[in-house]
Structure 1
């Protein structure tokens, strides 16, 4: 009888522990892909069967509100930090930091200056500190040494490297003996052609079709490597694109003496640094210069842009209306398509699609913020999220009900210069730890009860002794 009880006890304990630890999140793999400048409605401009394949078997968000300014470097850094530009410090593609007395520009190699990137910590560093490995194929910032770290594997940026070569590297890293759990993949189009042709050009149709074919190639390679059903693929972009023309140009030379200021960043958000003693003169000259240009002193920048509490934001910014261009003069030339405008504008909005074991199928969501991607990534990877401006709860409905849950304790990022609006942050409950605790309690209580019963059953009966002890003492 005792052996049967012991056997039953171990079976029950094993089942309890199995149920308990089955609640533990599996190690999720995530591949984040950005097609630069892919506007949300390109999905419907021409047939895009591979994008729609992902939408059918995954999730799709109709409206993604990115950050201001709607340019490449600020938004790509937001996607991997969850921060507004004023908090992560990459406020434009071209910057000047008056404290560092340094410039940052895509036209020069000084984008590799670590000091510009270290106001935030990108997700690949957090992932690696948690004991995992990351791999990046050309994602902006991944070939920069940030906080003394690179991704575990990365490719030096070289736009001549084909999409197929980048995909091959990503697949290699995911399937190696020590596989990565986080991959980042970047492709320059349709942004490059959108600038050149303009998004309204009928010639953009073949460009969009080519991007769809590239996505199809990626899906094919993931399936070939047996990753398609085990990896969480997220497809997004940094911004959209709008049509410009030579008839919608604002020339600063018509209003300002170029000797009185430096133009730090270009259209459509002109970052203007007046020379010493020239601030009032420059501002007054521009304030009402053109009906399609709004000029702000730094302290007057709208709060909704989350853009003024950083020293790299210049004393004056001039913001063009959608489709308008700001140049010093027309000799500089202009592109037929551009971005950087107000992030509330629909034509600035990018895409968001996802597929994988963590995501629902054939599910469409109305809206999200680009800052919400970072806590979602941390959640999927099972790593702690650093302070951010996003909200995991805002995108929780993209996940399957049985998707892993991870605690992400966050705090408001410290605003610059004592101001700024904090983001929304959350403390998620963790089913795993609750399950472990309850399971452990059940097992402990069961074993205490069982061994107590077992010990009692092994003690020999002493009826005579008990009877004698119960007798009263004999009287003399």
Structure 2
């Protein structure tokens, strides 16, 4: 499965839940600035990120609830935000240390509820793979253990469904929001080496890591944007390979679906896979220390390393596909429509084009 661009956590979790590209639902990065609101979105600041004004579209748990099917969510990014003034029927807030097994036990406890209060749509986010991927890279020592842990947790869920005699009536859909690429200090780009100190003084805080989103301050002179762009462009002409692509927002290629909102910075640098764009003051390359994070995502969503996963089983799927069928790669905007089809729901407006059906490879 191909993630949406940028291949970063919050934009893609909200795309999976709503079927909208980030430029359409508004969560265009983990951190960005909205010039209309004159406010900054910071995903880790719950006071800011829990405000519904940032979140466009309708997630699957709200579509489900508004059409008479109870919904439950465990730690899915954005699930703490009321949409249209509505929240899921059951909700577990994000706690970093909660294990995948504990989450599956919660799911099974919900399925043990009486039928009249049992949720029919359940979303679960397991964060440990992303955590360990950032910490030690995609080939780090700890990643296999958390992959095994996650696999065992899904196995526990499937055994629990069978023990309850409902395994033939439940659909299970397993996805990831993005992939992960290795990075190290040999792949660092220091942007203060080609953006002048005068130009830096014109800029707000960077946006959309690991992209470099550049936005002049409101009091910057009219020529600031062109000056900054020219400095970066001139650098790309001086070096053999700058290891990034430079765009004005309106020039971002259409395949990225990433140019239709001013929440996207007016100048965007997209680094090559595995590269990080930082200031020289952020890391001493001669320190002898490893650069962190050792695993990074957020790059070109079509890159091999950024690809996500998709696996599904259940009664309606069995009607359409033979066991072990492999489907052609598709964009993750299709997942929301697929879920509404499984749940017999009318979808909210979305960017899907496959109508909930996938082509066989």
**Alignment partner, residue 99 of structure 2:** 162
The DSSP-based 3-state class of the residue aligned with 2:171 is: strand
Q: Aligned partners of 2:148 and 2:172: how far apart in 1?
A: 20
Aligned length: 334
Report the Cα offset of residue 147 of structure 1: 1.7
The question of whether the paired residues in 2 share the 8 Å contact of 1:266 and 1:326 is answered with no
Q: RMSD of the alignment, in Å?
A: 1.8
2:43 to 86, 103, 106: 106
Given the alignment of the two structures, is residue 309 of structure 1 paired with residue 260 of structure 2, yes or no?
yes
5+ long unaligned stretches in structure 2: 237-241, 284-290
1:244 to 159, 171, 183: 183
Report the Cα offset of residue 366 of structure 1: 2.5
5+ long unaligned stretches in structure 1: 1-63, 399-476
Change beyond 3 A, Cα 1:166–1:390: same
**Alignment partner, residue 445 of structure 1:** none
The question of whether the paired residues in 1 share the 8 Å contact of 2:104 and 2:153 is answered with no
**Alignment partner, residue 280 of structure 1:** 226
Summarize the alignment of residues 27-426 of structure 1 with structure 2, pairs less than 5 Å apart.
64-109=1-46, 110-117=48-55, 119-177=56-114, 178-256=117-195, 257=197, 258-275=200-217, 276-277=220-221, 278-290=224-236, 291-329=242-280, 331=282, 334-360=292-318, 361-393=323-355, 395-396=357-358
Q: Aligned partners of 1:338 and 1:113: how far apart in 2?
A: 27
Instruction: Between 366-375 and 206-215, report the one with greater CA deviation.
Output: 206-215
Report the Cα offset of residue 394 of structure 1: 6.5
Report the Cα offset of residue 255 of structure 1: 2.0
The DSSP-based 3-state class of the residue aligned with 1:142 is: coil
Q: Aligned partners of 2:204 and 2:6: how far apart in 1?
A: 19
The DSSP-based 3-state class of the residue aligned with 2:185 is: coil
Report the Cα offset of residue 284 of structure 1: 1.3
The question of whether the paired residues in 1 share the 8 Å contact of 2:337 and 2:356 is answered with no
The question of whether the paired residues in 2 share the 8 Å contact of 1:287 and 1:294 is answered with no
The question of whether the paired residues in 2 share the 8 Å contact of 1:82 and 1:371 is answered with yes
Q: Aligned partners of 1:316 and 1:194: how far apart in 2?
A: 29
Normalised by the length of structure 2, the TM-score is 0.88
* 1:186-241 deviations in Å (ceiling 9; x for gaps): 11021111111111335533332222222222222222333322100000010000
The DSSP-based 3-state class of the residue aligned with 1:250 is: strand
Q: Aligned partners of 1:396 and 1:161: how far apart in 2?
A: 34
Change beyond 3 A, Cα 1:212–1:182: same
**Alignment partner, residue 288 of structure 2:** none
Q: Aligned partners of 1:191 and 1:324: how far apart in 2?
A: 18
**Alignment partner, residue 464 of structure 1:** none
Q: Which has the higher helix share?
A: 1
The DSSP-based 3-state class of the residue aligned with 1:308 is: coil
Larger radius of gyration: 1
The question of whether the paired residues in 1 share the 8 Å contact of 2:18 and 2:58 is answered with yes
Normalised by the length of structure 1, the TM-score is 0.67
The question of whether the paired residues in 1 share the 8 Å contact of 2:30 and 2:208 is answered with no
Q: Aligned partners of 1:369 and 1:150: how far apart in 2?
A: 27
The question of whether the paired residues in 1 share the 8 Å contact of 2:19 and 2:352 is answered with yes
Report the Cα offset of residue 269 of structure 1: 0.9
Change beyond 3 A, Cα 1:354–1:199: same
The question of whether the paired residues in 1 share the 8 Å contact of 2:328 and 2:358 is answered with no
